[in-house]
């Protein structure tokens, strides 16, 4: 989840920026356990259930 801040410091809009770790039935497909930010602003998310590292990036 990401919540932006308004100019006055109060919470703005909240939006999902990463999902997919639960099936429609609520079963776990992954388990994100740690996050590291890279110098380009992207995030590495380790998933110890799937044995994977996911990179989350953004575009204009």
Note the pLDDT tens digit of each residue in 1-59: 889 999 999 999 999 878 888 899 989 988 999 999 999 999 999 999 889 999 998 87
State the total domains in the chain: 1
Measure the CA–CA gap between 50 and 34, rounded to whole angstroms. 13
Rounded to the nearest 10°, the torsion over CA 15, 21, 27, 33 is -110
Q: Quick one: pLDDT at residue 55?
A: 94
pLDDT at 60 over 80: no
User: What pTM, to 2 d.p., does this model score?
Assistant: 0.68
18 is in which domain, residue-wise? Answer: 2-56
């Amino acid at each position: 989840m990401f919540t932006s801040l308004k100019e006055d410091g109060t919470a703005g809009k909240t939006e999902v920026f990463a999902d997919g770790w639960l099936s429609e039935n609520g079963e776990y497909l992954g388990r994100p356990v740690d996050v590291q930010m890279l110098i380009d602003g992207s995030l590495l998310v380790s998933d110890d259930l799937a044995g994977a590292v996911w990179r989350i990036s953004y575009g204009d």
